[in-house]
């Protein structure tokens, strides 16, 4: 018997499998193969979308642009909302307005540290000395975030929570105080000078009988001529008036990191002849002391803010009969220094409030007759004496130019006139310093 041999002679591939032709039967048969469709591997979508650019317009509002969308914030980055508006036509670097013009120097950083890793900076913007935002060059999580600092760039965070949120709130309050204070200076340049200073003497050169406005950037006290002056908070700084008595020795005095220069002033002498009856008024020390107690009590409490917002005006247009600082002799005897202005005018001439304030005292006093003291805040008072009539009462609020009384000759007086002066911390100072200006504008004296 012949044996049958199976010879595979030809393989032909087909779509269904492989066709095999056999030499034994000559008939093809098919071996089916398992087909697999192998697709090309697709790249995974990036986990983080890279932030392309940003801009903050103030401490609350800003935007971040990504390749396919933008995000906006209205609360300093505490929350973000998607927007279809593409801010590509907005400049990335915003020019800060006056509220943010008090930077010491624009900060220029090339790198920052975020979550213990250093990144190069793609874009950075500081709005104040402390608060700024940045984008970094990174394809991961850091590059998708708008990072924020509230300590001048020392540390950076991506979430406005906890201490970051509180620091941002404090910075907004500081800006508000800076805006409040800056309105008192004569120009934005003067405001910037003041707000950038550690200590500021306004002005730094004075004569005997003047007064200095002191500003410091933190709470402090000043020891001066045997007295202690506490700096009070106002705006973004701390202030006090420093009276320079007429007997202060000329010379240079250190105040903080500044030097105050006091220049000598030669005060003229004045001689008055009065009746014996008028002269005897000055001998009634009991009544004088009782009035002084009233005055001291009125001037012991001052509003802890500057109550004025514009220049001081002369309360009455009259003839100057006695300038500030004259050494006065009455009936040949030394009476003391006349630390006020005497402005002679007709009986009944209206007297105006020199500036905004609160009437600390309106009363009939023994030596000064019908008298008024107005508190202008921070220890500054104006005094009006010898009036024929009072038009305000203690506690009234007055505005610059309000009629508060009429010229008269009550008390120790030789004729109708207004006795007018300023007191700072119970020390009389030269009224001429204030007319048509304010203490904040005394900075101009140092620039001449």
CB distance 281 to 412 below 8 Å? yes
Q: How far apart are CA 88 and CA 91, in angstroms?
A: 8
CA atoms within 13 A of residue 390's CA, in its CB half-sphere: 22
- The Cβ of residue 364 has, within 10 Å, a number of other Cβ atoms equal to 13
Residues 6+ apart with CB under 8 A from 153: 107, 109, 112, 126, 132
Q: Angle at the Cα of 47 (from 44 to 49), degrees rounded to 5?
A: 115
CB distance 431 to 374 below 8 Å? no
Partners of 357 in the beta sheet?
Answer: 398
From first to last of the 448 residues of the chain, give the pLDDT tens digit.
Answer: 444 444 444 444 444 444 444 444 455 544 444 455 556 666 666 688 999 999 998 899 999 999 888 999 999 999 999 987 555 444 434 444 444 455 556 678 999 999 999 999 999 999 888 999 999 999 999 999 999 999 999 999 999 999 999 999 999 999 899 999 999 999 988 998 999 899 999 999 999 999 999 999 999 999 999 999 999 999 999 999 999 999 999 999 999 999 999 999 987 666 566 666 565 666 677 888 999 999 999 999 999 999 999 999 999 999 999 899 876 656 556 556 778 999 999 999 999 999 999 999 999 999 999 999 999 999 999 999 999 999 999 999 999 999 999 999 999 888 999 999 999 999 999 999 999 999 999 987 665 4
SS3 state at 35: coil
**pTM for the complete prediction?**
0.78
Query: Which tokens in the block code for residue 230?
Result: 């506490």
Closest C-alpha to 157, from 112, 110, 124, 96 = 112
Task: Quickly list DSSP for 347-413.
Answer: TT-EEE-SSSEEEEEEEEETTTEEEEEEEEETTEEEEEEEESEE---TT-EE-TT-EEEE-B--SS-
Report the b/e string of 51-72 with b at 16+ CB within 10 A: bbbbbbeebeebbbbeeeebbe
């Amino acid at each position: 018997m012949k044996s049958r041999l199976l010879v595979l002679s030809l393989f032909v591939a087909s779509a269904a499998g492989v066709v095999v032709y056999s030499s034994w039967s000559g008939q093809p048969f098919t071996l089916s193969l398992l087909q697999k469709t192998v697709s090309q591997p697709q790249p995974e979508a990036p986990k983080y979308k890279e932030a392309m650019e940003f801009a903050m317009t103030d401490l609350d509002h800003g935007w971040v642009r990504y390749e396919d969308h933008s995000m906006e914030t209205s609360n300093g980055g505490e929350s973000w909302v998607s927007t279809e508006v593409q801010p590509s036509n907005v400049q990335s670097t915003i020019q800060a307005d006056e509220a943010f013009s008090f930077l010491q120097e624009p900060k220029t950083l090339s790198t920052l540290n975020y979550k213990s890793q250093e990144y190069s900076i793609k874009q950075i913007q500081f709005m104040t000395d402390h608060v700024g935002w940045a984008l970094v060059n990174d394809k991961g999580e850091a590059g998708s975030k708008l990072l924020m600092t509230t300590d001048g760039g020392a540390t950076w965070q991506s979430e406005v929570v906890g201490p970051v949120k509180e620091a941002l709130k404090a910075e907004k309050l500081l800006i508000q105080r800076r805006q409040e204070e800056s309105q008192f200076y004569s120009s934005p340049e003067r405001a910037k000078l003041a707000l950038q200073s550690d200590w500021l003497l306004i002005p730094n050169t004075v004569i005997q009988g003047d007064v200095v406005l002191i500003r410091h950037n933190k709470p402090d006290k000043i020891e001066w001529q045997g007295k202690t002056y506490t700096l009070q908070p106002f705006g973004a700084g701390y202030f006090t008036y420093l009276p320079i008595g007429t007997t202060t020795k000329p010379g240079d005095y250190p105040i903080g990191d500044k030097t105050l220069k006091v220049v000598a002033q030669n005060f003229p002498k004045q001689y008055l002849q009065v009746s014996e009856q008028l002269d005897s008024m000055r001998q009634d020390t009991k009544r004088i002391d009782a009035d002084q107690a009233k005055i001291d009590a009125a001037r012991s409490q001052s509003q802890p803010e500057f109550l004025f917002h514009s220049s001081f005006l002369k309360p009455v247009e009259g003839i100057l009969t006695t300038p500030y600082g004259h050494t006065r002799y009455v009936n040949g005897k030394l009476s003391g220094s006349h630390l006020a202005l005497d402005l002679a005018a007709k009986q009944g001439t209206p007297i105006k409030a020199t500036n905004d304030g609160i009437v600390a005292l309106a009363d009939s006093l023994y030596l000064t007759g019908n008298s008024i003291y107005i508190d202008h805040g921070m220890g500054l008072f104006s005094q009006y004496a010898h009036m024929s009539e009072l038009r305000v009462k203690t506690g009234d609020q007055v505005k610059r130019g309000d009629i508060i009384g009429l010229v008269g000759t009550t008390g120790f007086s030789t004729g109708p006139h207004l006795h007018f002066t300023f007191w700072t911390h119970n020390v009389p100072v030269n009224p001429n310093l204030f007319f048509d200006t304010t203490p904040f504008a005394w900075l101009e004296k140092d620039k001449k």
